[in-house]
Structure 1
């Protein structure tokens, strides 16, 4: 029951705060833009990512049943704002958790271990444009 309360708090309150700096500063937070499977509405969600060449590795901190991930799977694409640029991202693919976690810098890797994050995905990307401020 506690994880659901924490997820609710983060979704309703903490995410709004993180969205103010995610995607623009040099940190592991990015903003994923996705279209709702049923609503067709565009959403923005802060996520933890690491860049690897033309791919991004994304931590599914709440597991694979979150709306933004299911929306990306359904659409097979979305966009990602990271370090001041907007990227088009393709269909997400599951990734081995040990391999994925090792790609993150030590502070984030430690946080991911403490949170017991077990699910990661990778997405191919291409730069579209500088992100709007």
Structure 2
């Protein structure tokens, strides 16, 4: 459902550099096709923090894991090469998003966060 409703709007917002969305550009693990997935990411000194709203069984996440943590983030018109992805403690993930977003994440009982490291940081 999201693929055909919210995602097209989020893709346009992310590509324009406005709004809360970033794009994760990743390569399909079986097709080799390049995909762009809109996500809300928190920027931290090492890179970006992603909250896994739908868990580890989503295509973008599985594709990045298959690519050994490599993907590209497009945020505000800038492009960032990601060279690895690590699990992040829940408390650190919550802190990365800051108030009031971390309050919403707590209310929704979100616990799964990943740190996407920008190459060279």
| TM-score exceeds 0.5 | yes
Secondary structure at the residue paired with 1:100? helix
- From the superposition, tell whether residues 125 and 35 of structure 1 become closer, same or farther in structure 2 (CA, over 3 Å): same
- From the superposition, tell whether residues 53 and 26 of structure 1 become closer, same or farther in structure 2 (CA, over 3 Å): farther
* Aligned residue among 22, 33, 51 for 1:41: 33
CA–CA distance in structure 2, aligned partners of residues 12 and 91 of structure 1: 29
* Aligned residue among 46, 53, 67 for 1:61: 53
Gaps of 5+ in 2: none
1:116 deviation in Å? 2.4
Q: TM-score, normalised by structure 1?
A: 0.80
Query: Which residue does the alignment assign to 2:64?
Result: 72
Gaps of 5+ in 1: 1-8, 128-133
* Aligned residue among 77, 84, 91 for 2:84: 91
Residue-pair matches, total: 118
Preserved CA contact (<8 Å) 1:63 1:117: no
1:113 deviation in Å? 2.2
1:126 deviation in Å? 4.2
Q: TM-score, normalised by structure 2?
A: 0.87
Q: CA RMSD in A?
A: 1.7
1:61 deviation in Å? 1.0
